[in-house]
Structure 1
Amino acid sequence: MMQPNYRRLEGRNAIVTGAGRGIGQSIARKLAMEGAEVLVVGRSLGPLADTVTAIESAGGRAWALSADISSEEDVKRVITSALERWGQIDVLVNNAAVFDEPPFLEVDAATIREIFDINVVGTFLMSQAVAKGMADNRKGSIIHISSIDALGADGPVTAYSATKSAVVSMARTMTMELAPFGVRINCVAPGFVNTDMVHKTSTPNVLEHMLNDFTRVPIRRLIEPEEIAAAVAFLASDEASAITGANLVVDGGLTSNLFVMETLPEPMIPLGG
């Protein structure tokens, strides 16, 4: 993938949650490449250290803190540490989320609550803590990683899909309340992305199909994490200064097609012939 020859986030400070692997790691690396100093946050310090090493090896600046974003105490510790180091926070990317549940008839209330605590409450806690300083500074960008699961079901993930819908809705309300303070709120909704999770949950034949001939997706392949990161970096930058309240879908055209015509037994008769 061609890299830009400019640094749109030079001199800015960014926090990325869930940055130890996959999409989160790609986002952190992209923001650092664009000039930001990045605080990477996650529950396990080991993967975060790998992200920091990758960023520093490429000439960027990053540091790591382990935290559970569903914990008010941990969120306060992260924000306090960031402000002590930087003085202000310019960008927050809420990427941390869990995706592990049984089908609807088997899932229990405890699992539902745990997933909502991380995916929704954690996003709220981080956003509110960061937005207070951004409002005082009259500028800032907060980006939630949502999902095409907020737009339609694609598997037995009741809680996950519901949390992503909640995150999109939360962003809309945040947009209305925070726009007068110069703070922009947006979402990026990935489609099927080439991450470890896809590899772990796919057979070799399914993975080969998704990587090279994904019939259901107009571009016929999985999205790469770097492509999600590029969308996030754009929304974080001043080039997106008039964009707030958006849910930018990055899915290779998947949700643009209802996939009805392709499943009919034969083509319909065209009108106007």
Structure 2
Amino acid sequence: MAGRLQDKVAIVTGGGSGIGEAISKRFAREGAAVVVVGLDSDPVREVVDEILSRGGRAIGYLGDISRQDTAKACVKAAVKEFGRLDILINNAGVFPATAELDKYPVDAFEYMIKNNIYSVFMMSRAALPELQKTKGNIVSAGSEAGHMGSPMITPYGGTKAWVMTFSKGLAVEQAKHGVRVNCVGPGPIDTAWTHKETGPMDSKMEKNTVNGAPLGRRGTPEEVANVYLFLASDEASYVTGATYFVDGGVTISKSLSGEEVPSHLKQQPPQHLKLEHSKEGNTKVRQDAAASMG
């Protein structure tokens, strides 16, 4: 049986770690040729090699996609290698700091504007001419924080609100060209971002983040990738301008309701993807992603 993305070509930004690794591998399993995009310091090569070892099709692309020339070159590389482009996944993003706003580092805010907003704008702009040819689609990473706002990460939520509103406008604008545009809104996912040892959260914020989910646990990168798969596939042919939250119910909760969930229901479901980089991620200002914008 053909996969759900058989013969499709997808670019996955931030595709070497965290949720991006899961998306890259899930798409490859479903028959897509995947361009795994990341920075020089990301484990892009390892993800590509694993996809190839399992009989999939993939290439890596390294570069700062918040820059116009790099974004255009990324799209050009995908088309040169695989002949077309059907799907753009704007997954790349950063989460470098937590603090009340009057103490929030200015360089961290600028870093998010560059890597959470400019990257989505530049990649979407560069990909649209090819996606119009194939009647393809874009799926971008929003966040429950972009929908609700969240204390201590107010600027981060603002960048994700931009992505979600941008996607709605782009969906209406591009409908006449046959291009669908949607968002996925992850909540507390089991990546580097939601652990105090690997991200900027302290122990209190980590605990509240998990307990704020009515399902009482972190989601897995694979659970998020499954929703990306649906939205990117032809099964979602009548879905555009939507944000699908994968948040364990955070956006409908008003309390730390996860504390009430019995321990046996807090267990994560069995996973099928071999993820080696789920606890890696952009959780501090990195020099290879902090260059000037434009």
State the TM-score, normalizing by the size of structure 1.
Answer: 0.86
Structure 1 residue identity aligned to 2:218: L
Aligned equivalent of 1:57: 53
- Is 2:224 the partner of 1:228? yes
Aligned equivalent of 2:96: 100
Q: Is the 8 A contact 1:210 1:221 kept in 2?
A: no
Over 3 Å counting, the alpha-carbon distance change for 1:34 and 1:106 in structure 2 is: same
Once the two structures are TM-superposed, the CA of residue 108 in structure 1 deviates from its matched residue by 4.6
Give the whole-Å Cα distance in 2 for the aligned partners of 1:262 and 1:83: 45
Report the secondary structure of 2:102's partner residue: coil
Aligned equivalent of 2:109: 112
Over 3 Å counting, the alpha-carbon distance change for 1:262 and 1:134 in structure 2 is: closer
Q: Taking every aligned residue pair, what percent have the same amino acid on both sides?
A: 35
Q: CA offsets per residue over residues 223-242 of structure 1, 9 Å max, x none?
A: 00000000000001010000
Structure 2 residue identity aligned to 1:237: S
Give the counterpart of 1:29 among 11, 25, 34. Answer: 25
- Is 2:235 the partner of 1:243? no
Give the whole-Å Cα distance in 2 for the aligned partners of 1:260 and 1:29: 33
Report the secondary structure of 1:128's partner residue: helix
- Residue range with higher mean Cα deviation, 105-114 or 147-156: 105-114
Give the counterpart of 1:253 among 249, 256, 274. Answer: 249
Give the counterpart of 1:149 among 138, 145, 166. Answer: 145
- Is 2:195 the partner of 1:193? no
Runs of 5+ consecutive residues of structure 2 not aligned to the other structure: 260-294
Give the whole-Å Cα distance in 2 for the aligned partners of 1:112 and 1:197: 16
Select the structure with the greater relative contact order (CA < 8 A; seq sep ≥ 6): 2
Once the two structures are TM-superposed, the CA of residue 111 in structure 1 deviates from its matched residue by 3.4
State the TM-score, normalizing by the size of structure 2.
Answer: 0.80
Q: Is the 8 A contact 1:45 1:64 kept in 2?
A: no
Written as runs of structure 1 = structure 2, the 5 A alignment for 1:59-138 is 59-103=55-99, 104-135=101-132, 137=133
Give the whole-Å Cα distance in 1 for the aligned partners of 2:119 and 2:186: 19
Aligned equivalent of 2:288: none
Structure 1 residue identity aligned to 2:123: M
Over 3 Å counting, the alpha-carbon distance change for 1:206 and 1:181 in structure 2 is: closer
Give the whole-Å Cα distance in 2 for the aligned partners of 1:221 and 1:262: 7
Report the secondary structure of 1:54's partner residue: helix
Larger Rg computed on CA atoms: 1
Runs of 5+ consecutive residues of structure 1 not aligned to the other structure: 264-273
Give the whole-Å Cα distance in 1 for the aligned partners of 2:49 and 2:208: 30
Give the whole-Å Cα distance in 2 for the aligned partners of 1:191 and 1:260: 14
Q: Is the 8 A contact 2:87 2:131 kept in 1?
A: no
Report the secondary structure of 1:105's partner residue: helix
Give the whole-Å Cα distance in 1 for the aligned partners of 2:202 and 2:188: 15
Give the whole-Å Cα distance in 1 for the aligned partners of 2:186 and 2:256: 22
Q: CA RMSD in A?
A: 2.5
Over 3 Å counting, the alpha-carbon distance change for 1:101 and 1:184 in structure 2 is: same
Report the secondary structure of 2:228's partner residue: helix
